[in-house]
């Protein structure tokens, strides 16, 4: 027999699939484990026992599933949102934020289908069965959830039926005037022109001479002291060519509420070159209501500097405060597939093409019957009340809401079914299509040759990634480093896997996403400008994601780790640092259990920046406690490194105590009746029972620092190492392990045990020199040797576990075994 010493000092491939346990010829084999449970593979090569979890609180309704969603304003202001059945609660840095609770429309069944995109203090939330919502943080304890209002789009196709829509009002600041004071309000001018009301008679064929010189003003006063908001208007020149030259070339639009103090709300200069009957349209920002509205003009009178005159001045009434008016359809054809207007159309937008060739948009405020709705008009006032033949209904109705969103090149983008909608640049509310570079965009059939549903969109370097059930496409400008615009776009297909409806994560130099089956995780990398490729990162560990991936969350500090809850309740982990060839999966079973299982059920995971520079990993966990189902929010503690033993936190759903030395700690009501472990005063106590929320140390012992919670153990099973025999591989040949040597870092060896794969006896690491006389544990760094009882059928494989609520890091492992030659 030959004695062999095969060292394994790299575990960066983590736990690999049972299908690969005999593939010793693979390069990854010597860096892998047969089992990696509650250990995390480190970029440095070793494995470290994961941190425990700190109890934050119970969810509002333990009977229903909850989901966590991150809300990250900055690295210093980060929140974890608790989405439950019809509510949202806010948590930050290990505690609930006051009593903040926001009512929401989302049922338990909706929660894991929600998609979201955030910018600063706003988060847009989408779901196929709900209108888009926007969650706004106004202050640390002030949060609101409101409908997101799409301004002017997106829309369905332009009406091609005979159905017309007839408005009952103009949407104007001034009614159709028939005199200076009729039908209501008062028109006045600088020279008390008797026919100044003709500027407001909605008749472009009439006009008024306001001044014999170059300047004048005309104004309108609302009846009864009413106040309205104006934020747009249009001006029309006289229909006679020579008279068009008498149009003013500069003016101010002013508002007042007393007729003497005026506020300028719009200014125009250089308005020259008027042609007969020409209309010019102007928009400006204003939210202040006024009783009086005045146009104070100069530069009129033409070459002879006399006779300032114009045909129409049509200021609008801003839609937000406008009195709704009727819009009557001539039939139901073309409206909701022939069903006519529905109650669900309230809030829907509609676009109307006026007889002047200008599109306006309106919002449906109420539905009276299938052919009658009331609307508020936005944009410019209508030129007349003639039936409108060219119109478009807003595209978002029940069953057709947007499903996912992203930010890209200063645009807010949404997707639905086969289409992508992107807002105007820098104007996230405006989805009006146009031809200018900064106008809103709409792309249909983004799935390409196959009609695959879009399941997510995400911002990447130089492209808007479109994840579909058939693969990933990249939408970008047509040239290298060229912006995406209505006239410059490129939609490329990539050779990738189909995607699941699970939000992907940005992992630095690549994206990680769940494939269509939800049974594997792929990495998306950019191969060239606008081109991407995918690899199944979990193929060598396929048995882990095959349990069913629920969602993804990526941690960057202190180590790059992807976390993903599985449908069986385990928490999957994947250490991802491709530049160092670190790609290792591991599984985690949290302490406690649910309905007889040996571990607690992790239902959701969220990663946010922590206060100490290390990411917070929020876990939403379901357990059975004293026969009752409880759902709890917990934070996984940072990994233990370079500290004292008292700094370690290696229990689950636990709490800490620091203060005067005591024999009893309280506050553990959430674990009442459970058996817990404690690290108190440097000593390990096991099997303590929580009674009335309290734990007592045996023997009247006291401690000033406690870590107490549910126990968990970390376990690593090695593969059958192949160090080569005289005549080839020794895989499959009989071998027997005599002892194991391990290189440890900051490890409590009193909790470290080793076992042969086939023998049932766990051998403890016995190193009396590192245990203080008073029974306190200590941390050891160096090499240890453990003799074990093995048989020739063990194939040279061993199990390693750590059972104490204390740290353990294994840098290298060397089994010493005899093998058949």
Residue 113: how many CB atoms within 10 A of its CB? 17
pLDDT at 283: 94
Q: How far is CA 650 from CA 372, 620, 737, in A?
A: 66, 18, 30
Instruction: From 606, 607, 568, select the one nearest 589 (Cα to Cα).
Output: 568
Cβ(447)–Cβ(454) below 8 Å: yes
* 3-class secondary structure, 125: strand
Q: How far is CA 618 from CA 91, 119, 229, 602, 604, in A?
A: 10, 21, 47, 10, 8
Tens of pLDDT, residue by residue over 298-331, are: 999 888 888 899 999 999 999 888 999 999 999 9
Cα–Cα dist 425/404, whole Å: 19
Q: How far is CA 206 from CA 196, 211, 295, 306, 314, in A?
A: 10, 16, 18, 19, 14
Q: For the chain, list residues with pLDDT below 50.
A: 446-448, 725-726, 728
Q: How far is CA 309 from CA 186, 303, 810, in A?
A: 19, 13, 90
Rounded (10°) CA dihedral 233, 237, 239, 240: 170
Cβ(721)–Cβ(30) below 8 Å: yes
- What 121-130 contacts at long range (C-beta under 8 Å, 24+ apart), as own/partner pairs, is 121/73, 123/71, 124/148, 124/405, 124/412, 124/414, 126/401, 126/402, 126/403, 126/404, 126/405, 126/414, 127/401, 127/403, 128/399, 128/401, 128/403, 128/416, 129/398, 129/399, 129/401, 130/105, 130/106, 130/401
Cβ(422)–Cβ(415) below 8 Å: no
Find the helix or strand (DSSP H, E) in which 706 lies: strand 703-710
pLDDT at 447: 45
Q: What percent of the chain has pLDDT over 90?
A: 69
Who's near 648: CB < 8 A, 6+ residues apart?
Answer: 640, 679, 707, 805, 806, 807
Q: Supply the pTM of this predicted model.
A: 0.86
Cα–Cα dist 404/517, whole Å: 19
Instruction: From 544, 456, 534, select the one nearest 500 (Cα to Cα).
Output: 456
Strand pairing category for 616-625 and 601-608: antiparallel
Cα–Cα dist 439/483, whole Å: 12
Q: Positive or negative, the Cα torsion across 10, 13, 14, 17?
A: negative
Rg of the chain (C-alpha set): 36
* 3-class secondary structure, 766: coil
Tens of pLDDT, residue by residue over 431-441, are: 888 888 899 98
Find the helix or strand (DSSP H, E) in which 355 lies: none
Main-chain dihedrals φ then ψ at residue 511, nearest 5 degrees: -110, 145
Sheet holding 511-514, edge to edge: 505-506, 511-514, 521-528, 531-536
β-pair partners for 708: 655, 678
Cα–Cα dist 197/208, whole Å: 8
Cα–Cα dist 637/614, whole Å: 9
Cβ(564)–Cβ(605) below 8 Å: yes
């Amino acid at each position: 027999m030959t004695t062999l010493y095969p060292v394994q000092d790299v575990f960066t491939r983590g736990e690999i699939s049972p299908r690969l346990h005999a593939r010793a010829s693979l390069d990854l084999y010597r860096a892998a484990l047969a089992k990696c449970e509650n250990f995390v593979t480190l970029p440095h090569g070793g494995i470290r026992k994961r941190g425990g979890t700190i109890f934050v609180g119970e969810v509002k309704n333990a009977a229903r599933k909850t989901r966590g969603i991150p809300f990250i304003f900055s690295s210093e202001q980060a929140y974890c949102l608790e989405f439950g059945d019809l509510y949202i609660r806010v948590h930050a840095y290990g505690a609930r934020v006051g009593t903040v609770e926001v009512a929401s429309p989302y049922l338990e069944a909706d929660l894991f289908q929600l998609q979201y995109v955030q910018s600063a203090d706003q988060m847009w939330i989408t779901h196929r069965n709900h209108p888009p919502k926007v969650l706004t943080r106004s202050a640390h304890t002030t949060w609101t959830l409101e409908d997101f209002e799409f301004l002017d789009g997106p829309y369905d196709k332009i009406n091609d039926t005979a159905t017309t829509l007839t408005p009952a009002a103009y949407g104007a600041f001034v009614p159709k005037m028939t005199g200076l004071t009729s039908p209501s309000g008062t028109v006045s001018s600088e020279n008390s022109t008797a026919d100044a009301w003709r500027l407001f008679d909605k008749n472009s064929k009439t006009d008024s001479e306001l001044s014999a010189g170059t300047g004048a003003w005309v104004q309108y006063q609302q009846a009864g002291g009413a106040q309205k908001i104006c934020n747009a208007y249009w001006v029309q020149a006289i229909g006679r060519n020579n008279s068009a030259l008498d149009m003013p070339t500069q003016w101010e639009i002013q508002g007042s509420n007393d007729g003497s103090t005026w506020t300028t709300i719009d200014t125009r200069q250089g308005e020259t070159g008027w042609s007969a009957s020409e209309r010019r349209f102007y928009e400006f920002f204003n939210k202040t209501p006024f009783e009086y509205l005045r146009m104070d003009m100069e530069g009129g009178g033409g070459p002879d500097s006399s006779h300032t005159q114009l045909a129409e001045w049509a200021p609008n009434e801003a839609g937000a405060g406008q009195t709704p008016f009727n819009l009557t359809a001539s039939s139901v054809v073309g409206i909701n597939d022939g069903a006519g207007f529905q109650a669900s159309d309230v809030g829907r937008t509609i676009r109307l093409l006026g007889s002047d060739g200008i599109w306006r948009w309106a919002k449906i405020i109420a539905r009276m019957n299938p052919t009658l709705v009331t609307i508020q008009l936005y944009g410019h006032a209508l030129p007349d009340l003639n039936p409108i033949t060219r119109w478009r209904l807003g595209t978002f109705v029940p069953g057709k809401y947007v499903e996912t969103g992203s930010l890209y090149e200063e645009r807010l983008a949404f997707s639905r079914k086969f289409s992508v909608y992107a807002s105007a640049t820098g104007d996230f509310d405006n989805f009006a299509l146009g031809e200018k570079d900064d106008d809103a965009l709409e792309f249909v059939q983004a799935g390409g040759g196959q009609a695959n549903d879009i399941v997510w969109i995400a911002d990447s370097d130089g492209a808007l990634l479109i994840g579909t059930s058939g693969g990933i496409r990249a939408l970008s400008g047509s040239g290298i480093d060229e912006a995406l615009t209505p006239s410059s776009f490129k939609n490329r297909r990539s050779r990738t896997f189909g995607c699941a409806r699970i939000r992907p994560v940005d992992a630095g130099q690549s994206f990680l996403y769940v494939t269509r089956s939800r049974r594997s995780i792929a990495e998306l990398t950019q191969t060239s400008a606008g081109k991407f490729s995918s690899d199944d990162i979990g193929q060598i560990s396929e048995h882990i994601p095959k349990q069913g991936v629920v969602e993804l969350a990526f941690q960057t500090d202190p180590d790059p780790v992807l976390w993903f809850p599985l449908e069986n309740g385990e928490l999957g982990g994947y250490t991802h640092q491709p530049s160092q060839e670190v790609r290792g999966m591991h599984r985690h079973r949290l302490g406690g259990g649910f309905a007889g299982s040996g571990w607690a059920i992790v239902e959701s995971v969220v990663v946010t920046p922590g206060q100490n520079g290390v990411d917070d990993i929020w876990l939403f966990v379901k357990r059975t406690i004293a026969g009752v189902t409880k759902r709890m929010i917990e934070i996984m503690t940072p990994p233990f490194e370079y500290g004292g033993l008292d700094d370690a936190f290696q229990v689950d759903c636990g709490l800490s105590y620091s203060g005067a030395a005591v024999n009893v700690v309280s506050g553990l009501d959430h674990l009442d009746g459970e058996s817990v472990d404690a690290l108190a005063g440097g000593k390990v106590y096991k099997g303590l029972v929580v009674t009335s929320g309290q734990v007592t140390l045996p023997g009247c012992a006291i401690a000033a620092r406690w870590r107490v919670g549910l126990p968990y153990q970390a376990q690593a099973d090695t593969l059958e190492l192949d160090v080569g025999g005289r005549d080839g591989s020794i895989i499959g040949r009989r071998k027997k392990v005599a002892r194991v040597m391990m290189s440890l870092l900051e490890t409590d060896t009193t909790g470290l045990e080793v076992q042969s794969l086939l023998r049932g006896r766990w051998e403890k690491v016995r190193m009396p020199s590192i245990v203080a006389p008073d029974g306190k544990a200590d941390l050891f760094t160096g090499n240890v040797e453990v003799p074990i009882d093995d048989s020739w059928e063990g194939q040279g494989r061993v199990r390693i576990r750590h059972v104490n609520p204390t740290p353990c890091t294994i840098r290298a492992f060397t089994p010493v075994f005899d093998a058949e030659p």
